[in-house]
Structure 1
Amino acid sequence: MTDRFVYHCPVRWSDMDAYGHVNNARFLTLYEEARVAMVFVGGREAGMSTLEEGVIIVRHEIDYLRPVDYGDPVRIEMWIEDIRAARFTVAYELFDGEVLASRARTVCAPYDLSEQRPRRLTEAERAFLSGYQ
């Protein structure tokens, strides 16, 4: 079984659409909040903070399985699905209560902000990410 990073994310009134459900585009915001917590907070706790210096998004993919209504926080479980030399893929499952409401994937690339270009993962970054693979 893959080790998962679990994040409880509040659903905000501003996340709602005209039908009273979380807007499809806001799912990206919820997934982003969870991913940032894993990389920044989880990384710091593991003694690794270099991914905070720059990560860009290469691709997002979301499957919507059921609507999510305003109310209790949602639970987002994440793991690393793939690690390559200069990118990694985060996989997610979003639960509304105990019901799976969405699945997603994000391909991320470490990025050198000063050079304005992608870079390779360091050994420390690979080791951190591998803990969730």
Structure 2
Amino acid sequence: MRHIYHCPLRWSDMDAYGHVNNTVFLRYLEEARIDFLTRPEKNFKQGSVVARHEIDYKRQLVHRPTPVTVELWITEVRAASFTITYEVKDGDLLYVRAATVVVPFDFEAQRPRRLTTEEREFLAEYRDDAEEAVAA
């Protein structure tokens, strides 16, 4: 199963050439990741931090008033991290393929922590090993 997030494009997302700036795509991924992890019924209440991003830009995205779709799914779950893979697209038109390694984090103790059983079960619902983290 994949989580779907419809991400609005903002006027400030554009660069001088009228395209969405490359760094803005990280914000799109962040918005989709937060939407995925902080739903009331599936909240990662103990916290998490980003350990790594990979991003492949497939085509330019021109600013327009309609949102893009960010699809995300889980490609790896370890004891103390998991990998979210994303596609930013319109239908079959792919703009970005990316992956983020997320580490559960105990903010009170200021250290990484292991995934809880509840978190592992939630992530398993979105697991798709058939997809590689980022296409070469």
TM-score, normalising length from structure 2? 0.89
TM-score, normalising length from structure 1? 0.91
Alignment of 1:42-81 (within 5 A): 44=40, 47-49=41-43, 51-71=44-64, 72-81=66-75
Indicate the RMSD between aligned Cα atoms, in angstroms: 1.0
Q: How many residues align?
A: 126
Provide the C-alpha distance between the structure 1 equivalents of 2:4 and 2:53, rounded to a whole number of angstroms.
19
- Correspondent of 2:33 among 25, 32, 35: 35
Q: Is the 8 A contact 1:78 1:90 kept in 2?
A: yes
More helix by share: 1
Amino acid at match of 2:81: R
Q: After the TM superposition, list the runs of 4 or more consecutive aligned residues in structure 1 that deviate by more than 4 angstroms.
A: none
Provide the C-alpha distance between the structure 2 equivalents of 1:21 and 1:97, rounded to a whole number of angstroms.
19
- Residue 89 (structure 2) aligns with: 95
Provide the C-alpha distance between the structure 2 equivalents of 1:93 and 1:107, rounded to a whole number of angstroms.
15
Q: What is the Cα deviation at residue 54 of structure 1?
A: 1.3
- Where structure 2 has 5 or more consecutive residues not aligned to the other structure, the ranges are 128-136
Provide the C-alpha distance between the structure 2 equivalents of 1:54 and 1:74, rounded to a whole number of angstroms.
27
Amino acid at match of 1:115: A
- Where structure 1 has 5 or more consecutive residues not aligned to the other structure, the ranges are none
